Amino acid sequence: MNLSAQSSPPGLAEQGPELEGFLQLSLDLFCVASPDGFFRWLSPRWSELLGWSIEELCAEPFVEFVHPLDREATLAEMSKLGAGELTLHFANRYRCRDGSYVWLEWNARPHGRHVYASARDVTALREKARERERRARLLELAEELAHVGHWRVDLEAETVFWSDEVYRIHGRPPGSFVPTLAEGVEAYHPEDREAVWEAVAAAVERGEPFDIVRRLVRGDGTTRYIRSVGRPESGEGGRVSAIFGVFQDVTEAHELQERLLQSERMASVGTLAGGVAHEINNPLAFVVANLEVIEEELGELEGSGDTRDLIQAVREARAGAARVRRIVRGLKSFSRVEAPKTEPVNVAHVLKSAIDMAHNEIRHRATLIREVSSMPRVVGDDQRLVQAVLNLLVNAAQALPEGGAHEGRITIRAGAVPGGVSIEVSDNGCGMSPEVCRRAMEPFFTTRAVGLGSGLGLSIAHGIVESLGGRIEIDSTEGGGTTVKIWLPAVEVEDSRSGAPEERAAKLRVLVVDDEEFVREAVRRLLRKVASVVAVEGGSAALSLLRADAEFDVVLCDLMMPRMSGMELEREISRRHPSLAERMVFISGGAFSEGAARFLDETDRPVLEKPFDGGALRELVADVARGG
């Protein structure tokens, strides 16, 4: 470049060749400007960077090349230079020939009537800085949304860094104090501090990473479950010089996991309850049946005082057995594999079963008040309705302090309302806030400590009631108790006992198939006056008998038997004696498999649950024999 082509300030042109060589090597931009706002001299780098020729840059006031948003600040800086002040690290944008802009950072000083300046292209540096800022903002936003912060302990400098989210997790304003390692550990629950110190020590001394979940006590006194993951950083000599880690609030996930484990335990209890019910129901079936037979026989001999005492003793034994039966049937409501039934349900019986089961939970906390009037039947599954009402009673009891039975009150009301039946369970317990009330029927939602409540009681009740076409509502006042209201649609049930009295028919022939000898004998005794009973031990024996004699009015068959189940026997009888298969009745002790539940749903065969009384057995046998 020929420096003399530009109008140079005094003293610069004389050094032209040497200066030109130096300026051609420089990555910076140099210039001289006059007070009228024009460039008087420019180094070659200007043309290389902006794309304009030196002549074009000098032909217009330099402010015309400045970005419109930067012009005011640029003119203000020129005014300062005109007043004799220095300019250091001033930045603005200059327009290139292609329309793009580059960022220039300036240092300038006035000299006589001119301004001498150097500028540096900082576009790439500013873009990198903006990208770093953008990433930092995104990281901060991601940490805030995920409740995950990051931290770093510098062991050599003895400093600790917390991101803003770590401060927030601690319940403290970001940057409100400079944390130390000791303060960070002391923020944990007293019972968890030793474990945290051990994790830190293992990282420092042996370079072991850690991943722990422990309780943190926040600034407001609340406790949160925190996951802290740390990775050691090695310095000179391989020694650990720092620990970097992340910090996450996992309270909700931890509590959800605990409640899922609780629900799994409840499911296990349900499975166990079904098995227990089956094992109790088998012996209870023949206990109940034989007591009934004994009472009938003694009744025919009644006369002496001794006989009356025996009859009373048998009646009391039957009452005790009936109570056991109600409790066992209530336990079955926790077994989930039975196919839900849809049949007319006596609500009074449902309430009694639920109250019997909840008795022990209630008696230490409240006095139970019953206000039950006559009401129609509803369509549903009696065991599922028992579970729904039981859940409401247990929830009511748990809203009252233990040991306060003289003050606590739980009222259960039931009666007919237009179109259906209303059931209400009220307590005078602690009540719920509007927010808690809104969420009360959400699965796993509970205000009780982890391990003391599954958060499923109201949710299950809600699902059961809605599945039966009903409604459930909660009315609660904090400190003023809670009332849960259930409405169920009524069903009209034709009285099967109406009309002409049933004619006494000739004795029926009944085949009884059960692996329990005492059950077979009990059934034979209960049916002795209305049927001729043939009893066999299992499915194979039944098939052998039927090959020789299939003239039976009804087949009573245990559903779950070893070797050949009642389901397998039904399939064989359907193949060999189709009309007889239509007159099969299954007897169940309560332990249904999923396959058994599907089978009963598909075949629609009647089921008599153990233990049963003679009247129900005789009525069902007669009905099936008639083709009912």
What's the length of the chain?
628
Query: Encoding tokens for residue 299?
Result: 């009744």
| pLDDT score recorded for residue 228 | 93
DSSP codes, 436-464: HHHHTTSTT--SSPTTS--S-HHHHHHHH
3-state SS assignment for residue 97: coil
CA gap 484, 466 in Å, rounded: 14
CA gap 432, 214 in Å, rounded: 30
* Structural domains of the chain ordered from first start: 3-121 (3.30.450.20), 128-249 (3.30.450.20), 339-492 (3.30.565.10), 508-625 (3.40.50.2300)
Q: What are the C-alpha distances in Å from 352 to residues 69, 330, 346, 427?
A: 82, 10, 10, 18
Sheet containing 39-42: give its strands across. Answer: 39-42, 29-33, 114-121, 101-111, 87-95
Hey, what amino acid is at 619? E
Chain-centroid distance of CA 205 in Å reads 40
Sheet containing 531-536: give its strands across. Answer: 531-536, 508-513, 554-558, 584-588, 607-609
Number of Cβ within 10 Å of residue 320's Cβ equals 12
**Terminal-to-terminal C-alpha distance of the chain:** 116
Q: What are the C-alpha distances in Å from 346 to residues 193, 382, 489, 613?
A: 57, 8, 13, 17
Phi, psi for residue 184 in degrees, rounded to 5: -60, -40
Number of Cβ within 10 Å of residue 155's Cβ equals 17
Nearest 10 degrees: CA dihedral of 298, 304, 310, 312?
100
| pLDDT score recorded for residue 519 | 83
Q: Let me know: does 532 contact 510? Beta carbons within 8 Å.
A: yes
Residue indicated by tokens 């034989």: 290
Task: Chunk the chain into consecutive blocks of 10 residues (it has 628) and report each block's average pLDDT, rounded to whole numbers.
Answer: 44 58 78 90 91 94 95 92 88 95 94 90 92 84 81 92 92 91 93 93 93 91 92 88 92 76 59 62 69 71 64 69 62 49 82 84 86 88 83 86 81 90 90 77 57 58 81 86 90 48 61 87 86 89 88 90 87 90 84 71 81 83 83
| pLDDT score recorded for residue 272 | 58
CB-based burial, 393-431: b 16+ in 10 Å, e otherwise: bbbbbbbbeeeebeebbbbbbbeeeeebbbbbbbbbbbb
Q: Let me know: does 212 contact 230? Beta carbons within 8 Å.
A: no
Number of Cβ within 10 Å of residue 13's Cβ equals 14
**Greatest CA separation for the chain:** 150
Nearest 10 degrees: CA dihedral of 38, 44, 48, 51?
30
| pLDDT score recorded for residue 332 | 55
β-bridge partners, 484: 425, 474
Q: What are the C-alpha distances in Å from 229 to residues 66, 249, 408, 420, 569?
A: 50, 12, 48, 58, 60
| Sign of torsion over alpha carbons 545, 584, 290, 596 | positive
DSSP codes, 131-158: HHHHHHHHHHHHHHHHTEEEEEEETTTT
CA gap 63, 53 in Å, rounded: 16
| pLDDT score recorded for residue 313 | 67
Q: Let me know: does 571 contact 594? Beta carbons within 8 Å.
A: no
